[in-house]
Amino acid sequence: MPFLAIVYPPEVDRAFQKELQIQIEALAPDIEGRFVDIVEITQNVISDLGIETIITELSDPDNSENAKTDLGRMWIEEIKSAVRNASSVSSEGKPVIIIDGITALFPAAGPFMLMQSLWNDEQAKLNCPIIVPIPGMVTGPRNYRFLNRIDELMYRGDLL
């Protein structure tokens, strides 16, 4: 299960997403793109926990970092479940999973945390490539800056 991270400037997000959709559709029926909507997943977790609870926890100066990390972990667990489900659906075309809306993880998590967790926990169960579009900028051969704010390392895959 290789990762393909595509780093693009955040200011062209709409155009990039539109072009990605066009390219995935052009690959059909040989390749079937399966989008995992991160925005929907994070919103569901927030609804389940309650926005007031999250605000209270994140506002507590003694606990805000732990709360942020815990929220990121909850989101990642739900995303892993969605990726697992998307990869298990049978089809005629070869499946490719596309992580959609990764900016919704900020500031509780990021692409590195997601890819690391998928690799560590799910690699044996996943049988298809995962495309991870990352708004940001490439800063080195294996490094990028997520949202032009957070320096991260490309985790086990290719960086474009």
124-147 pLDDT per residue, tens = 677 889 999 999 999 998 899 999
Q: What is the pLDDT of residue 79?
A: 96
Kindly state whether residue 55 falls inside one of the protein's structural domains. no
Kindly state whether residue 33 falls inside one of the protein's structural domains. yes
Range of the domain at 16: 3-43+70-159
% of the chain at pLDDT higher than 70: 95
Q: What is the tens place of the pLDDT at every residue in 9-54?
A: 999 999 999 999 999 999 999 999 999 999 999 999 999 999 999 9
> What is the number of domains present in the chain?
1
Pair 142, 5: CB distance under 8 Å: no
Up-side HSE of residue 48: CA atoms within 13 Å toward CB? 10
Of 31, 26, 28, the closest CA to residue 129 belongs to: 31
Strands 130-140 and 94-100: parallel
